[in-house]
Amino acid sequence: MSRARSSRATTPPSRRRRFALATALAATLALGADESAARSPGGAALTLRPGLPQVSLTLPEALPAPSEAEQQYFPFLEGEPIDHTISVGDTSNGFLVNGRAVQESAALGILPIQRERDLRYGSEELVALLEKSAASYYAATKSRMWIGNVGKRRGGDIPWSVSHNSGRDADIAFAYLDLSGKPVDPPDLVPLNQDGLNATYRLRFDAARTWQIVRGLLGGDAEVQYLFIASGLRDQLLVHAQKAGEPAALIQKAAIVMRQPVGAAPHSDHLHLRIYCSRRDVLGGCVNTGAVHDFAELHEDAKEAAVARIAKVMGAGDTEQQKRAIERLVLLGAREQADAIAAHLRDEPAVLREAAARALGSIGRREQVALLETSFDREVDVATRIAMAQASGQLGGKEAGRFLARVIGVPRRGVSQLLDGIGAASTLRSPALLSLLPEATALSREALFGEDLPSRLGRSALGGGALGGRHEHDGERAVQLAGVAAAALGERLEPVPALIGLLEDRDGEVRATAAHALRLITNVTYRIDWAEGDDAERARGLARWQAAWSRSKRAARPAWLVMGFRT
C-alpha cells in the first residue's frame, strides 16, 4: 500500500533494498557441532562453537515461515518486563513480540473467514482500542462491531495485505443496512460502490453506525494514524457527522485520518485502522512510516535516552547483556553507535564479536568493510567469520566485492564436505530490523525472529534448497559458502571470477549455488544443470561463462543485466 505523506513523514526502506536484505543473506550460521576445527591461513585453528542452533545457508528464493510453537525472541535487557507486546519495525516489514489476542464478546466479533485464519493478534494498544471502541459502539447502537484481519501472533507477512506485519493494523467491517433500512450483521467484508450500495448482498452503507465506530476509535488511548476508506464513503461519514452536530475538532481529526490510499485497493469494503507506535514500541525498535499528524507523539526524546542507556550496557554489562544491547541498538537504528559497536570486534567471547559484526551489517558504514576484513583475517571462530563476510555483503561497495571474492576464491580446503544441515537463515530489517541472533536463526519477512530451522532443506540451490546432508563438519567451506551468499546480496562484479571457479567444484550443490549467485549478480544463466548435469554439459557451460567474463569483465553491471536477458 502506498502511504500518504506529510512534510514530516519518515522514509520507509526501498522495496529493492528490503528484498535484497530480507532474502539474500544468511543472517546466522550456527554451527551445531561438537568442538572441531579447520585451519585458517595463518595456521590458527578455526573453532566451531558447540551448542548453537543448526541453520541453513542457501541463496535467496523464498523465506521460511516461523514456527508458531517457538517463543518469539527479543533482546530484552535486565529489568525490562518481558510479557508486554512490542511492535518492531514498520507495518510492512516488522514483527510482533508477545502478540495480544482480540477477545470476542457480545460487542466484538471476528468475521467467520478471518476467524479461520487466526489473525486476531495485535499490540496491546491496538487490541485495547478495538475492544474499547466495540464496547462504546455496542452501548450506543446495541450492535456488534465486526473485524477482519488483525495479524499473526508473531507478526509478519500475511497473504491478504502488504501491511499488518507488526501489530498496528486492523480491518474493521462497516455497519450495513438491508434495503428495508434494518441493521444487519455482514457475512464478510462486503464491498460497496461510491453510493454505498452492494447489489449482490442487497446491502447499503450505514453511515450513522459506521460513524459511531470512527468516533470510538478516535476517542481511544492509542493514536490513530490512518483510517483507510474509499473516498465516497469517507464523504458520507463526514456529512453525517456535520449533520449530527459532532464537535468540529472531532470532525477535523476524522477528515485528517480518513483517506483513500493511493496505489492500493480503495478500501470500499472495510475501514483499515493503523495506529502509531507507542512509547514502549518505539523503545523496542518500532518505526512509523507515512504521514505524521500534528497530534502525533513520536517519543523521539525517549528513544534518544534509551539509546544512550543501552550503549552503556553494551560497554559494561555481562556478556549476555552486552550482546543483547548490541542487538537492541540495531533494532533502534542507532547508526551513531557504529564505531562503539565496531570496538567489540576484538572482544571475548566470540559471541560478542559475532554480534558486533552482524550489527555493522545493519547499521554500519561502508568504510567499515576494511575493518571487517582485517578482523576476518585474524578471526578463528567460524560463526564470527561468517558474520563478517555477511556484513560486508550488506554494506556493499567495491571493497566488499574484493573482500568477498577472496573469501570465495581461496578456500583453504579442497574437499566439498559441509556442516551437516548447513543452509540459510535469512533476514533482515526495514530501517531498524535485525540481521542477527543465534536465538533467532530463521529471521524472515514474516517474523524476523523465529524458529531455528532444524530440518534439512531441499537438494537444489537453484530451487531454494540447502547445501545439507553432509556428515563431516567443515568450517572453511561454511565460511566460503557464506561468502557466496553475501556476494549475491552485494550485487558486485568483483566476486564473479571466484564464483566461476566454483562451477568446477566437486560438489554439485556447491556448483548450483555458485551458478545461482552468478545469476543474481549478472542476470546471466546458461540453463545448465550444475548440480547433476554430465561433464560435457557442465564443460560447455563453464566455457561460456569464462568467455563471457573475458569478453565483458570491464563492462558495468547494468550491461551484464541487459546481457542476461539475451541468454
- Examine the domain organization and report whether 267 and 330 are in the same domain: no
Residue 46 lies in a domain: yes
3 state SS for 522-566: HCCCCCCCCCCCCHHHHHHHHHHHHHHHHHHCCCCHHHHHHHHCC
Axis crossing angle, helix 248-257 with helix 207-218, rounded to the nearest 10? 90
- Examine the domain organization and report whether 176 and 111 are in the same domain: yes
How many other CB atoms sit within 10 Å of the CB of residue 420?
17
Q: Which CATH number is 558's domain given?
A: 1.25.10.10
**Number of structural domains, the chain?**
2
- Examine the domain organization and report whether 408 and 483 are in the same domain: yes
* pTM recorded for the entire structure: 0.78
CA distance from start to end of the chain = 35
Q: Which residue, chain included where needed, has cell 504521514?
A: 291
Looking at residue 40, its pLDDT comes to 36
Looking at residue 199, its pLDDT comes to 77
Residue 80 lies in a domain: no
Residue 290 lies in a domain: no
Sequence-separated (6 or more) residues with CB below 8 Å from residue 164: 91, 119, 149, 150, 151, 158
- Examine the domain organization and report whether 272 and 146 are in the same domain: yes
- End residue of a domain, out of 283, 313, 336: 283
Residue 165 lies in a domain: yes
Residue 443 lies in a domain: yes
Asked if residue 531 lies in contact with residue 496, where contact means CB atoms within 8 angstroms, the answer is no
Q: Which CATH number is 246's domain given?
A: 3.30.1380.10
- Examine the domain organization and report whether 442 and 516 are in the same domain: yes
From first to last of the 567 residues of the chain, give the pLDDT tens digit: 433 333 333 433 333 333 333 323 223 222 222 323 333 333 344 544 444 333 233 343 333 334 445 567 899 999 999 999 999 999 999 999 999 999 999 999 999 999 999 999 999 999 999 999 999 999 999 999 999 999 999 998 888 888 999 999 999 999 999 988 999 999 888 888 888 888 788 899 999 999 999 999 999 999 999 999 999 999 999 999 999 999 999 999 999 999 998 767 778 888 999 999 999 999 999 999 999 999 999 999 999 999 999 999 999 879 999 999 999 999 999 999 999 999 999 999 999 999 999 999 999 999 999 999 999 999 999 999 999 999 999 999 999 999 999 999 854 333 233 322 222 222 222 223 333 333 322 222 222 222 222 221 122 222 223 343 332 357 888 999 999 999 998 899 999 999 999 999 999 999 999 999 999 999 999 999 999 999 999 999 999 999 999 999 999 999 999 999 987
Which domain covers residue 524, as residue numbers?
Answer: 15-73+302-564
Asked if residue 461 lies in contact with residue 481, where contact means CB atoms within 8 angstroms, the answer is no
- Examine the domain organization and report whether 28 and 172 are in the same domain: no
Cα Dmax for the chain: 86
- Examine the domain organization and report whether 368 and 334 are in the same domain: yes
Beta bridge partners of 177: 183, 204
Indicate the pairing of strand 224-228 with strand 258-259: parallel
Asked if residue 79 lies in contact with residue 150, where contact means CB atoms within 8 angstroms, the answer is no
- Examine the domain organization and report whether 166 and 201 are in the same domain: yes
- Examine the domain organization and report whether 421 and 329 are in the same domain: yes
Looking at residue 445, its pLDDT comes to 24
Residue 151 lies in a domain: yes
- End residue of a domain, out of 283, 317, 343: 283
Looking at residue 262, its pLDDT comes to 78
- Examine the domain organization and report whether 168 and 69 are in the same domain: no
Concatenating the DSSP letter of every residue in 464-485 gives T--S----S--HHHHHHHHHHH
Residue 2 lies in a domain: no
3 state SS for 131-199: HHHHHHHHHHHCCCEEECCCCCCCCCCECCECCCCCCCEEEECCCEEECCCCEECCCCCCCCCCCCEEC
The torsion region of residue 549 among left (phi > 0), alpha (psi -120 to 50) and beta comes to alpha
- Examine the domain organization and report whether 67 and 111 are in the same domain: no
- End residue of a domain, out of 253, 283, 313: 283
- Examine the domain organization and report whether 160 and 96 are in the same domain: yes
Residue 8 lies in a domain: no
